[in-house]
């Protein structure tokens, strides 16, 4: 594959469009990690990048791993990336390097800015400064280009509304159970007072003393146990189900925000991103829609934990060492959303004499999840290589400028109808 490419030629080869620099420069400053070079060797659209990646990967694997001792101030990006992140406990990932966490989007520019201001260790502050400068340099490069920065239109309250709805249901469930118990207890006291049973109980306790008190305690304990049993098998199950839904929505929002951050760094003003898009007469939202000169794309973002595998259209997850099939898997969701969007935009494609086509893509936003693929019918992109995947898209225009403009306007109008638009 790299028969005719020398190390010098590989170093002079330019990387992807979203970080268009000589690969030798990116290799020296630590940007081209082993993971990125493996990705480039396997998936890069341009053959020159694939060949250069193979050459530089061989070179990289011969070099000793960069390890920076505690207290040593990093001087370049490679050394900065190897510094251990001191606030790992907050994200549950102890002992990870800053480079790994940045690639996986477990720490953001906001976290690096916090470390730059608050970290007591000068090594960590210097590493945060170097990495943050590198990230901001990429974004500033996009802003300074004639095309400007990526446009993002968001249904800013959609995810919050879903989370609020579930939280309200949880509160209503707990309040309802407590109110029911209180009313039941109050009614029981009133009934016993009217029938004279309450007086009889007090009289029994006064006459029998210890036996009466013991009897009362036993009755109360049995009542509590019975109530606990009923709640565990009714209200608590419902509450736990709502709690899982709430956790999944929060994880989903986190995954979408990670993906949007990468897109801001990788795409320019020739592209427009729409978040949580809901088509007319549809209940299901589309996580991310990208309208670019090279096509229309629907991204289904999944922040999964655990072990999964995808074979063609089918998805399975590991449960107690067994593979269990998904009922409504990411591939089906992505294809359904792409089909619905294509149908909605059909008149625009037809009017501009363009082929009606929307491409579905799945993004796995948790870099720690384990997903094996076998002939996936929908592309699966990992968050740690999302920037590379976006930069790898062919720059050739496949939809006319007029069609792109009409599609963006039509989608923006969907947000305006509900006064939910937030364009950044």
Strand duo 295-302 + 307-311: pairing: unpaired
pTM of structure: 0.76
Specify the residue for token string 């400068």: 133
Q: Which residues contact 333 (CB under 8 A, 6 or more apart)?
A: 284, 300
**What's the farthest any 2 CA atoms get from each other in the chain?**
105
Structure tokens given for 294: 């090279």
Q: Rounded to whole angstroms, how far apart are CA atoms 422 and 424?
A: 6
Domain extent listing, the chain: 7-136, 151-156+261-422, 161-245
Q: How far is CA 421 from CA 153, 256, 270, 416, in A?
A: 6, 17, 20, 6
Mean pLDDT of 163-169: 55
Strand duo 370-374 + 307-311: pairing: parallel
pLDDT at 222: 74
Find the range with the poorest average confidence among 232-241, 374-383, 401-410. 232-241
pLDDT at 2: 46
Q: Which uninterrupted H or E stretch holds 318?
A: strand 314-319
- Cβ-count burial of 163 within 10 angstroms (0-12 exposed, 13-18 middle, 19+ buried)? middle
Q: Rounded to whole angstroms, how far apart are CA atoms 18 and 392?
A: 9
Structure tokens given for 49: 């990048």
- Cβ-count burial of 384 within 10 angstroms (0-12 exposed, 13-18 middle, 19+ buried)? buried
In 3D, which of 255, 296, 256 has the Cα closest to residue 272? 296
Rg (CA), the chain: 29
Say whether pLDDT at 406 is over 90. yes
Q: Rounded to whole angstroms, how far apart are CA atoms 404 and 270?
A: 10
Residues paired with 282 in a beta bridge: none
pLDDT in tens, 311-345: 999 999 998 889 999 888 999 999 999 999 999 99
Say whether pLDDT at 1 is over 60. no
pLDDT in tens, 63-100: 877 778 888 899 888 889 989 998 866 666 777 889 98
pLDDT at 135: 81
Residues paired with 22 in a beta bridge: 14
Output the CA angle 206-212-215, nearest 5 degrees. Answer: 155
Structure tokens given for 67: 């390890």
Say whether pLDDT at 196 is over 90. no
Output the CA angle 320-323-326, nearest 5 degrees. Answer: 115
Rounded (10°) CA dihedral 63, 64, 66, 68: -150
Helix axes 210-232, 197-208, angle to 10 degrees: 130
Strand duo 295-302 + 359-364: pairing: parallel
pLDDT in tens, 347-378: 999 998 888 899 999 999 998 889 999 999 99
pLDDT in tens, 111-153: 999 999 888 899 999 999 999 988 887 666 655 566 788 899 9
55/176: higher pLDDT: 55
Taking CB atoms within 8 Å and a gap of at least 24, the contacts of 346-353 are: 348/403, 348/406, 348/407, 348/410, 349/403, 351/406, 352/399, 352/400, 352/402, 352/403, 352/406
């Amino acid at each position: 594959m790299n028969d005719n490419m020398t190390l010098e030629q590989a170093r002079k080869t330019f990387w992807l469009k979203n970080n268009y620099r000589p690969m030798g420069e990116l290799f020296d400053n630590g940007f081209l990690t082993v993971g990125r070079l493996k990705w480039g060797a396997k998936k890069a659209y341009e053959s020159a990048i694939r060949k250069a990646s193979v050459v530089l990967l061989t070179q990289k694997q011969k070099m000793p791993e960069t390890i920076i001792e505690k207290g040593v101030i990093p001087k370049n990006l490679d050394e900065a990336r190897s510094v251990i992140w001191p606030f790992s406990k907050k994200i549950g990932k102890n002992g990870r390097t800053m480079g790994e966490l940045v690639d996986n989007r477990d720490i953001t520019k906001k976290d690096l800015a916090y470390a730059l201001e608050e970290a007591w260790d000068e090594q960590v502050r210097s590493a945060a400064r170097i990495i943050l400068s590198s990230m901001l340099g990429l974004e500033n490069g996009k802003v300074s280009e004639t095309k400007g920065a990526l446009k993002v239109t968001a249904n800013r309250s959609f995810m919050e509304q879903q989370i609020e709805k579930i939280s309200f249901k949880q509160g209503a469930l707990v309040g309802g159970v407590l109110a029911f118990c209180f009313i039941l207890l109050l009614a029981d006291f009133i009934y016993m007072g009217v029938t004279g049973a309450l007086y009889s109980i007090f009289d029994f306790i006064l006459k029998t003393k210890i036996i009466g008190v013991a009897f009362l305690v036993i009755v109360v304990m049995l009542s509590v146990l019975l109530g606990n049993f009923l709640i565990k098998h009714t209200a608590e199950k419902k509450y736990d189900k709502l709690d899982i839904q709430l956790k999944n929505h929060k994880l989903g929002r986190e995954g979408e925000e990670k993906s949007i951050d990468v897109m801001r760094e990788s795409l320019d003003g020739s592209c427009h991103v729409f978040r949580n898009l809901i088509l007319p007469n549809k209940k299901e939202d589309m996580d991310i829609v990208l309208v670019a000169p090279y096509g229309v794309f629907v991204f289904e973002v999944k922040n999964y934990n655990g072990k999964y595998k995808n074979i063609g259209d089918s998805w399975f997850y590991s449960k107690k060492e067994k593979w269990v099939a998904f009922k409504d898997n990411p591939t089906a969701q992505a294809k359904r959303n792409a089909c619905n969007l294509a149908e909605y935009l059909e008149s625009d494609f037809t009017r501009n004499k363009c082929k009606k086509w929307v491409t579905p893509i799945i993004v796995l936003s948790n870099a720690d999840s384990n997903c094996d693929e076998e002939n996936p019918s929908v592309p699966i992109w990992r968050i740690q290589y999302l920037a590379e995947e976006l930069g790898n898209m062919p720059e050739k225009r496949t939809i006319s400028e007029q069609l792109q403009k009409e599609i963006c306007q039509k989608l923006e109008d969907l947000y305006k109808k509900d006064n939910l638009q937030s364009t950044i």
